[in-house]
C-alpha cells in the first residue's frame, strides 16, 4: 500500500511523541524486568546452592551430648541425615568470629576465593565480611588471640543471609564473620567447642517422634527448622518479594503508561480524521485503514519492547546485583527468560495496536462529511462552560482546555501523580527505616547490654537483671520468645499500649510485633508449644507492649520457667545498663543497644542504590509522560498558537494561555501521588512484618513531602520548558495553511 | 506614503528548486485607501501580504509602514508591530474554536493598547446576536465577519485580508465586503485585500496586479463601486 510510505515521514514529523512513548514503555518494562530478573535469579541460585551443599532441614542443640554411635542409630531409625557440628564464638574487640570445624554431610561450604585451610595457621572466612572489609587471601587475622593467614573465602547454605544472632533484624558483615580452620586446629584451640546438630529429614521421617526421642534422651535446648531460620528463609523470601513487586509494578505502572499512551494515540488518530475521512471517501477499505494506523501505534511497543529486552540482557547483571545487596556475595546467573522478553515486546505492541484499531474503527463509524470537516470530537459540551462568564478570555480558554479534553488532562494528571508517587515512595522507605532506628530505643527498654548465656544458670545475675528467654512456636510454626522477668525488673520495656505498666507477676503480655505475626490480641487465649518438648500450653493475653522489633510474650520468670518445666530460679540471659565482665565461655551472644540502630543503618546503606534508582525512574516517568502529553497538546493547538502569534501575542503569553491550565493539575497530582505512596508504603510495611519479622512504621516526613513536591514540580516545569521551543518555532504561515476551520 | 515596498525579494528553496516569490517588487499605498492586489496562484501576492504584515522577512529590499521600517525588525519587534498596527483576515477565518464569538474578539482586545469596544465592533459587523456561539455553530460568512471583528477590535492602522471571500458564496462574499467597506469608512483603516477574484477590484481605491513576484501594474480606480454594485 502506497499509503505506508507515510510511516517514515510521519515518525520524523512526530518524533518527540514516538521517542517519549518509547521511553515510557521502556522505563516501565525495565522496572518490571529489574525486580523479576533479581527475584528469579536469586531463587534459582538458592535452590541449586541449597541442594548442592546439603542445606539442613533443621538445627538443634541439646543439654546432653548425643554420642556419635547414637547418631548413626538415629539416622537409620528415622531415615534422616544427622551431623554433629562443632563451633566456638570469639570476640576480638573490633570483630566477633564464629569458628566452625568443617562438616562432612550437612551445610557444606563452597570456596569462593583461594582454597580450604590446609595448615594449622590457615583459616577461611565468610565472603561477605571479606568483601565488606576488603580482606584478601593472604591477609592475616587474629582469631581467639592467634594470628591466622586467610586462605580463602566461602559461602554456606545456612548463612546466605548473615545475621549474627537470630534475634537480629538485619545482617552484620561489618563486625561479624564465620571462619573454618582445620579440624585439628579447631580441637587444639577450642577443644570440643559448642555443639549444634544438623538434620536433613527423609521423605518418610516422623519428625515429631524424632524430636520427642531427642528430647526424652538428651533434652532439647533449642530447635530451629530451616523454615524459621531467617539466615535461610530470607533467600527465598526476599526473592519472592522481588517477584511479587515485579508483578505489582507490572500491574500498576505499565497499565498506567499503556493507558496514557493509548489515550495519546487516540488523540493523534483523531487529529488525522480529515485524512481518514478523505481516504474513506476515496474508497479505502475500513480494514486497510485500521491496519495502517495500527502499525503506527505498534511502533513504540515494538521498539520499546525490543530495546528494553536488549537493555535488560545487557544490564541483567547490574540489575540483579541491586537485589543482592543483603546477601552474602552470591553469584547467581541473572537471565531474562525468553518468554518474558517476548511478552515485553508482544504485549505492549498488541495493546497499542488494538487501541489504535478501535479508535480508527470508531472514527470510521462517523459520518464521512463530519470527518472531512474535522468535526468529530470537537463538540464536547464541557467545552462550552463559562460561556457567559466575564472572566479573562485566557482563563476561560485554559479551563475549557482542561475540562474539554478529559483524556488529555487525565494523562497529564497521571504523569504528575506517578512521578510524585514513585519519588515519595522512595523517600518514605528511607524515612520509615530511619524511624525504626529512632523509635526502637524507647520500645526496647533502658538496658544497654543483653548477654545471652550458653547454659541455664541460677543465683545472682552478676549485677544485672536475670531474664529467662526461651523459643516457642504457635500451631503454624511461627516462632516467638517467651520471656520471664522478675517483678522488680526495670531495664526491659514493660509499658503497655494502654499506658499502664505490665503486671507480669500475674499475667502474660504480648509485643505488638508478636501480636501482628501470630494474630493474637489482648484478651485472647493463645495456644503454643515448646520447640523442645512439643508440649502445648495455653495462656490468656492480658495486654500488649509496644515493641515492633522484638517478637515475644513476657511474664514472670516463675511462670515462664513453669511452662518450660524449669526451676523458677533459672535464667539464661542477663540485662544490664553497663558492660559486665562475664567469662567468655558463659556468653553465646551479646546484644547492645546500638546493634539494632547499626543494623537499620546498614539496611539503608545497602538499599540506597535501589531507592535512588527508584526515585530516578519516577522522575523519568514524570518527564516522559508529561513531555508526550504536552507535546500532543501543542500539536493539537498548533493552529491556535500560530493564529495567536499572528494576532501579536508574545510567546510567553501564548505559552501561558495554552499550557498554564495544566498547572491546576499539579497540586492535586502531587498530593494524591504522595498519599498513594504512603498507602503503598503502609502495605509494604505490613508485608515486612511477615517477611522480616519487623514492624516498620510507614513514615513520610514533612521534609520528604517538600522534596517530593519540589522534584515533581521541577520535572513538570522542566518538561514544559523542553516544549517551550515548540511554541517559539511554530511557523505562523505554514501552520495557518494547515488550519481549515 | 503609508506603505512603501522597495525592491522586495524573497526566495524559497535553494539551487534548482529555488523559487522567487518576490523578485524586486515595488509598491506604495496611501493611508486610508483600500488596495486590491490581484494575481494568479503562485504570483507572490500572499508572500507580499505576509511581508507587509510582519509574518515573514525579506531576503532583500525594504518595507516601511506608517514610517516604521519593518525589514530588519527582531522577532520581538515584529510581534509588537503585529499587535499594535496590523489586523489580519484569512480565507479560512482561523478563529479559535474553543472561544465564543465574543471571546474571539475579546482575546485580541485584551492585549491591544487602545482597543475598540467589543460591543461596538460586534454591532458594526452585525454579529452581536451570535456573541455566545462558537465558530463551528456559524456559517462561513458569519465566521468571516467575526474574523473581521477580531482584526478590527484593536483598531489597527492596517487591515490585511488574504482571499477573504475565497471560501464564501456570492451572497456571503458581498456581505463581508460591505463590512470591509464599512470599517474602512468608519475607522479609516488602510486595507489591503489580496485575491484572484477580479470582481472584487471594483471596491478598491488602488488595484495592483502582481505576476512572477513583480508588480505588473498599479492603477488608481476612478470608478470605485460599492460592494452591492460588484459583479462577483
Q: A260: how many CB neighbours lie within 10 A of its CB?
A: 25
Cα–Cα distance for residue pair B56/A409, rounded to 1 Å: 34
As beta bridge partners, residue A481 has A471, A552
Please answer yes or no on whether B82 and A648 come within 8 Å at the CB atom: yes
Q: What is the CATH number of the domain that holds B48?
A: 3.40.50.300
Closest-CA residue in chain B for A733? B55
Cα–Cα distance for residue pair A485/A494, rounded to 1 Å: 10
Cα–Cα distance for residue pair A87/A91, rounded to 1 Å: 14
* B12 vs A: CB within 8 A: no
What is the SS3 assignment for A64-95? CCCCHHHHHHHHHHHCCEEEEEEEEEEECCCC
Closest-CA residue in chain A for B86? A647
Cα–Cα distance for residue pair B213/B19, rounded to 1 Å: 10
For residue A149, with 0-12 CB atoms within 10 Å meaning exposed, 13-18 middle and 19 or more buried, which class applies?
A: middle
Domain with B163 in it: 31-58+72-229
The cell numbers describing A136, all together, are 584478601
Mutate to test the interface with A, among B98, B130, B152 (most CBs of A within 10 A): B98
Please answer yes or no on whether A741 and B92 come within 8 Å at the CB atom: yes
Chain B (15-54) residues lying within 8 Å, Cβ to Cβ, of chain A: 50, 53
Closest-CA residue in chain B for A384? B98
**Minimal C-alpha gap between B223 and chain A (Å):** 34
User: What residue has cell string 519428625?
Assistant: A207
Closest-CA residue in chain B for A728? B75
Whether B66 maps to a domain, the answer reads no
Please answer yes or no on whether B83 and A384 come within 8 Å at the CB atom: no
Residue A467 near residue A560, CB atoms below 8 Å? no
- Write the ipTM: 0.88
Strands A96-100 and A176-180, by their bridges, are parallel
Closest-CA residue in chain A for B47? A733
The cell numbers describing A651, all together, are 510567546
Residue A207 near residue A215, CB atoms below 8 Å? no
As beta bridge partners, residue A58 has A199, A225
> Which of A400, A648, A653 comes nearest B98 by C-beta?
A400
Q: Which residues of B touch A733 (CB under 8 A)?
A: 50, 55-56
> Which of A388, A393, A646 comes nearest B99 by C-beta?
A393
What is the per-residue DSSP string for A398-420? Answer: HHHHHHH-HHHHHHHHHHHHHHH
Cα–Cα distance for residue pair B55/A519, rounded to 1 Å: 75
Closest-CA residue in chain B for A379? B136
* B134 vs A: CB within 8 A: yes
Mutate to test the interface with B, among A636, A644, A741 (most CBs of B within 10 A): A741
Residue A413 near residue A661, CB atoms below 8 Å? no
pLDDT of residue A299: 85
Whether B188 maps to a domain, the answer reads yes
Residue count of chain B, please give it: 232
- Tell me how many domains chain B contains: 1
pLDDT of residue A741: 41
Cα–Cα distance for residue pair A136/A454, rounded to 1 Å: 33
Please answer yes or no on whether A648 and B79 come within 8 Å at the CB atom: yes
**Minimal C-alpha gap between B138 and chain A (Å):** 11
Could you report the average pLDDT of every consecutive run of 10 residues in chain A (741 residues)?
Answer: 70 80 83 84 92 94 89 94 92 90 93 93 94 92 92 94 78 89 91 90 90 86 84 85 79 70 79 84 83 85 88 78 80 83 86 87 83 72 79 87 85 88 91 83 85 85 91 84 92 91 93 91 92 84 91 94 89 92 78 74 73 81 82 83 89 84 92 95 83 82 95 90 81 66 41
**Minimal C-alpha gap between A259 and chain B (Å):** 26
**Minimal C-alpha gap between A740 and chain B (Å):** 6
Cα–Cα distance for residue pair A112/A124, rounded to 1 Å: 10
Q: Which residues of B touch A740 (CB under 8 A)?
A: 92
> Which of A404, A648, A733 comes nearest B98 by C-beta?
A404
* B138 vs A: CB within 8 A: no
**Minimal C-alpha gap between B118 and chain A (Å):** 13
Whether B65 maps to a domain, the answer reads no
pLDDT of residue A255: 65
Q: What share of residues in chain B are helix, strand, coil (percent, to 5)?
A: 35, 25, 35
> Which of A375, A397, A644 comes nearest B98 by C-beta?
A397
Closest-CA residue in chain A for B103? A393
pLDDT of residue A740: 46
Whether B100 maps to a domain, the answer reads yes
For residue B83, with 0-12 CB atoms within 10 Å meaning exposed, 13-18 middle and 19 or more buried, which class applies?
A: buried
Residue A218 near residue A66, CB atoms below 8 Å? yes
The cell numbers describing B124, all together, are 458594526
Cα–Cα distance for residue pair A82/A75, rounded to 1 Å: 6
The cell numbers describing B26, all together, are 515595488
Cα–Cα distance for residue pair A505/A444, rounded to 1 Å: 20
Q: Which residues of B touch A645 (CB under 8 A)?
A: 79, 82
* B225 vs A: CB within 8 A: no
Q: Which residues of B touch A369 (CB under 8 A)?
A: none
Please answer yes or no on whether A378 and B79 come within 8 Å at the CB atom: no
Cα–Cα distance for residue pair A3/A11, rounded to 1 Å: 14
Please answer yes or no on whether B93 and A741 come within 8 Å at the CB atom: yes
As beta bridge partners, residue A589 has A452
Whether B132 maps to a domain, the answer reads yes
Whether B178 maps to a domain, the answer reads yes
Residue A320 near residue A610, CB atoms below 8 Å? no
Cα–Cα distance for residue pair A204/A656, rounded to 1 Å: 76
Residue A457 near residue A572, CB atoms below 8 Å? yes
Angle between helices A338-364 and A15-52 (to 10 degrees): 150
> Which of B86, B96, B100 comes nearest A643 by C-beta?
B96
Cα–Cα distance for residue pair A397/A391, rounded to 1 Å: 10
Residue A80 near residue A205, CB atoms below 8 Å? yes
Mutate to test the interface with A, among B103, B109, B136, B158 (most CBs of A within 10 A): B103
> Which of B55, B98, B103 comes nearest A732 by C-beta?
B55
Longest dimension (CA), chain A: 102
Cα–Cα distance for residue pair A392/B109, rounded to 1 Å: 11
Please answer yes or no on whether B79 and A384 come within 8 Å at the CB atom: no
Determine the average pLDDT of the residues in B106-112. 90
* B76 vs A: CB within 8 A: yes
Distance of CA A557 to the CA centre of its chain: 39
Whether B11 maps to a domain, the answer reads no
Q: Which residues of A touch B84 (CB under 8 A)?
A: 648
Residue B61 near residue B8, CB atoms below 8 Å? yes
For residue B128, with 0-12 CB atoms within 10 Å meaning exposed, 13-18 middle and 19 or more buried, which class applies?
A: middle
Of A56, A63, A110, residue with least CA distance to A83: A56
pLDDT of residue B66: 93
Residue B223 near residue B192, CB atoms below 8 Å? no
Q: B56: how many CB neighbours lie within 10 A of its CB?
A: 18
> Which of A651, A740, A741 comes nearest B135 by C-beta?
A741
Strands A194-200 and A81-91, by their bridges, are antiparallel
Helical H segments across chain B, by residue range: 45-52, 75-85, 101-109, 118-124, 140-152, 170-187
Chain B (89-108) residues lying within 8 Å, Cβ to Cβ, of chain A: 90, 92-100, 103, 106-108
The cell numbers describing A135, all together, are 580482606
pLDDT of residue A53: 94
Whether B111 maps to a domain, the answer reads yes
> Which of A375, A650, A733 comes nearest B79 by C-beta?
A650
Please answer yes or no on whether B82 and A647 come within 8 Å at the CB atom: yes
Angle between helices A273-281 and A230-271 (to 10 degrees): 60
Helical H segments across A163-206, by residue range: 183-190
* Backbone CA torsion sign across A489, A493, A495, A497: negative
- Residues of A at the B interface (Cβ-Cβ below 8 Å)? 375, 378-379, 383-384, 387-388, 392-394, 396-397, 400-401, 404, 639-640, 643-651, 653, 732-733, 736, 739-741
As beta bridge partners, residue A484 has A468, A555
End-to-end CA distance of chain B: 30
As beta bridge partners, residue A379 has none
Cα–Cα distance for residue pair A28/A123, rounded to 1 Å: 47
Dump pLDDT digits (tens) for B140-181: 889 999 999 999 999 899 999 998 888 888 888 898 899 889
Dihedral angle over CA of B217, B222, B227, B229, nearest 10:
-110
Q: Which residues of A touch B150 (CB under 8 A)?
A: 647
Host H or E run for residue A354: helix A338-364
DSSP A170: S
* B156 vs A: CB within 8 A: no
Which residues, including other chains, have CB under 8 Å from residue A710's CB and lie 6 or more apart?
A: none
User: What residue has cell string 570456596?
Assistant: A111
Q: A333: how many CB neighbours lie within 10 A of its CB?
A: 11
- What are the distances in angstroms from CA A15 to CA A26, A397, A411, A546, A637? 16, 28, 19, 58, 17
Amino acid at each position: 500500500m502506497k499509503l505506508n510510505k507515510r510511516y517514515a515521514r510521519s515518525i520524523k514529523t512526530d518524533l518527540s511523541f514516538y521517542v517519549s512513548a518509547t521511553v515510557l514503555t521502556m522505563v516501565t518494562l525495565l522496572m518490571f524486568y529489574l525486580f523479576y530478573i533479581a527475584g528469579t535469579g536469586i531463587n534459582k541460585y538458592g535452590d541449586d546452592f541449597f541442594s548442592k551443599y546439603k542445606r539442613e532441614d533443621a538445627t538443634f542443640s541439646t543439654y546432653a551430648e548425643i554420642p556419635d554411635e547414637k547418631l548413626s542409630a538415629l539416622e537409620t531409625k528415622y531415615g534422616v541425615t544427622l551431623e554433629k557440628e562443632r563451633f566456638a564464638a570469639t570476640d576480638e574487640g573490633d570483630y566477633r568470629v564464629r569458628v566452625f570445624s568443617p562438616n562432612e554431610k550437612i551445610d557444606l561450604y563452597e570456596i569462593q576465593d583461594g582454597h580450604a585451610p590446609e595448615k594449622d595457621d590457615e583459616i577461611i572466612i565468610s565472603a561477605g565480611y571479606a568483601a565488606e572489609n576488603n580482606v584478601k587471601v593472604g591477609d592475616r587475622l587474629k582469631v581467639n588471640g592467634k594470628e591466622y593467614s586467610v586462605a580463602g573465602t566461602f559461602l554456606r547454605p545456612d548463612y546466605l543471609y548473615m545475621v549474627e544472632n537470630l534475634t537480629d533484624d538485619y545482617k552484620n558483615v561489618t563486625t561479624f564473620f564465620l571462619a573454618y580452620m582445620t579440624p585439628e586446629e579447631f580441637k587444639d584451640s577450642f577443644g570440643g567447642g559448642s555443639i549444634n546438630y544438623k538434620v536433613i529429614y527423609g521423605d518418610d521421617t516422623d519428625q515429631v517422634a524424632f524430636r520427642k526421642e531427642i528430647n526424652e534422651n538428651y533434652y532439647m535446648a533449642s530447635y530451629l527448622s530451616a523454615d524459621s531460620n531467617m539466615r535461610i528463609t530470607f533467600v527465598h523470601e526476599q526473592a519472592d518479594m522481588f517477584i511479587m513487586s515485579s508483578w505489582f509494578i507490572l500491574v500498576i505502572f505499565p497499565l498506567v503508561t499503556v493507558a496514557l499512551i493509548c489515550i495519546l494515540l487516540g488523540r493523534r488518530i483523531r487529529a488525522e480524521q480529515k485524512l481518514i475521512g478523505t481516504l474513506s471517501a476515496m474508497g479505502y477499505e475500513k480494514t486497510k485503514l485500521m491496519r495502517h494506523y495500527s502499525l503506527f501505534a505498534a511502533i513504540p511497543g515494538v521498539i520499546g519492547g525490543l530495546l528494553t529486552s536488549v537493555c535488560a540482557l545487557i544490564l541483567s547483571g547490574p540489575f540483579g546485583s541491586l537485589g543482592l545487596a543483603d546477601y552474602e556475595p552470591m553469584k547467581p546467573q541473572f537471565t531474562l527468560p525468553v518468554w518474558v522478553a517476548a511478552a515485553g515486546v508482544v504485549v505492549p505492541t498488541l495493546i497499542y495496536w488494538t487501541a489504535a484499531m478501535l479508535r480508527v474503527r470508531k472514527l470510521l463509524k462517523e459520518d464521512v462529511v463530519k470527518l472531512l470537516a474535522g468535526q468529530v470530537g470537537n463538540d464536547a459540551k464541557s467545552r462550552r462552560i463559562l460561556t457567559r462568564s466575564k472572566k479573562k478570555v485566557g482563563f476561560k480558554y485554559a479551563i475549557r482546555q482542561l475540562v474539554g479534553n478529559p483524556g488529555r488532562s487525565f494523562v497529564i494528571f497521571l504523569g504528575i501523580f506517578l512521578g510524585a508517587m514513585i519519588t515519595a515512595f522512595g523517600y518514605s522507605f528511607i524515612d520509615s527505616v530511619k524511624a525504626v532506628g529512632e523509635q526502637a530505643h524507647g520500645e526496647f527498654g533502658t538496658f544497654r547490654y543483653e548477654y545471652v548465656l550458653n547454659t541455664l544458670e541460677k543465683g545472682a545475675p552478676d549485677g544485672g537483671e536475670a531474664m529467662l528467654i526461651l523459643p516457642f512456636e504457635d500451631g503454624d510454626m511461627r516462632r516467638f520468645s517467651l520471656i520471664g522477668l522478675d517483678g522488680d525488673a526495670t531495664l526491659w520495656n514493660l509499658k503497655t499500649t494502654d499506658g499502664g505498666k505490665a503486671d507480669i507477676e500475674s499475667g502474660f503480655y504480648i509485643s505488638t510485633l508478636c501480636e501482628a505475626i501470630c494474630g493474637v490480641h489482648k484478651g485472647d487465649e493463645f495456644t503454643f508449644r515448646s520447640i523442645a518438648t512439643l508440649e502445648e500450653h495455653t495462656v490468656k493475653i492480658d495486654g500488649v507492649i509496644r515493641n515492633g522489633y522484638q517478637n515475644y510474650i513476657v511474664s514472670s520468670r516463675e511462670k515462664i520457667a513453669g511452662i518450660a518445666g524449669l526451676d523458677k530460679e533459672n535464667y539464661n540471659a542477663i540485662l544490664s545498663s553497663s558492660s559486665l565482665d562475664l567469662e567468655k565461655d558463659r556468653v553465646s551472644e551479646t546484644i547492645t543497644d546500638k546493634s539494632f540502630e547499626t543494623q537499620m543503618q546498614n539496611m539503608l546503606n545497602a538499599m540506597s542504590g535501589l531507592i535512588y534508582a527508584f526515585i530516578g525512574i519516577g522522575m523519568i516517568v514524570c518527564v516522559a509522560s508529561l513531555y508526550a502529553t504536552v507535546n500532543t497538546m501543542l500539536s493539537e493547538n498548533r493552529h491556535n498558537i500560530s493564529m495567536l502569534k499572528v494576532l501579536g501575542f508574545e510567546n510567553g503569553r501564548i505559552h501561558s494561555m495554552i499550557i498554564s491550565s495544566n498547572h491546576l493539575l499539579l497540586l492535586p497530582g502531587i498530593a494524591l501521588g504522595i498519599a498513594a505512596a504512603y498507602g503503598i508504603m503502609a502495605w509494604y510495611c505490613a508485608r515486612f512484618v511477615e517477611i522480616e519479622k519487623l514492624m516498620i512504621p510507614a513514615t513520610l516526613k514533612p521534609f520528604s513531602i517538600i522534596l517530593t513536591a519540589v522534584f515533581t514540580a521541577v520535572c513538570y516545569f522542566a518538561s514544559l520548558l523542553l516544549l517551550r521551543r515548540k511554541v517559539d518555532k511554530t511557523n505562523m504561515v505554514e501552520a495557518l495553511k494547515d488550519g481549515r476551520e | 506614503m503609508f506603505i512603501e515596498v522597495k525592491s522586495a525579494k524573497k526566495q524559497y528553496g535553494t539551487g534548482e528548486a529555488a523559487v522567487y516569490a518576490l523578485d524586486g517588487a515595488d509598491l506604495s499605498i496611501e493611508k486610508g485607501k483600500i488596495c486590491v492586489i490581484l494575481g494568479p496562484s503562485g504570483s507572490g501576492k500572499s508572500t507580499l501580504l505576509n511581508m507587509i504584515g510582519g509574518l515573514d522577512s525579506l531576503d532583500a529590499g525594504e518595507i516601511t509602514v506608517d514610517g516604521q521600517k519593518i525589514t530588519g525588525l527582531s522577532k520581538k519587534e515584529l510581534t509588537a508591530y503585529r499587535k499594535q498596527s496590523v489586523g489580519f483576515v484569512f480565507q479560512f477565518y482561523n478563529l479559535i474554536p474553543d472561544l465564543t464569538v465574543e471571546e474571539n474578539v475579546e482575546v485580541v482586545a485584551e492585549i491591544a493598547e487602545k482597543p475598540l469596544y467589543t460591543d461596538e465592533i460586534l454591532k458594526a459587523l452585525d454579529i452581536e446576536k451570535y456573541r455566545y456561539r462558537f465558530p463551528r455553530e456559524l456559517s462561513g460568512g458569519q465566521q468571516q465577519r467575526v474574523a473581521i471583528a477580531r482584526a478590527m477590535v484593536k483598531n489597527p492602522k492596517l487591515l490585511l485580508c488574504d482571499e477573504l471571500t475565497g471560501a464564501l458564496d456570492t451572497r456571503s462574499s458581498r456581505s463581508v465586503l460591505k463590512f470591509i467597506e464599512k470599517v474602512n469608512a468608519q475607522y479609516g483603516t488602510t486595507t489591503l485585500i489580496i485575491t484572484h477574484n477580479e470582481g472584487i477590484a471594483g471596491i478598491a481605491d488602488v488595484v495592483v496586479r502582481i505576476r512572477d513576484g513583480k508588480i505588473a501594474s498599479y492603477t488608481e480606480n476612478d470608478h470605485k463601486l460599492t460592494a452591492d454594485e460588484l459583479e462577483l
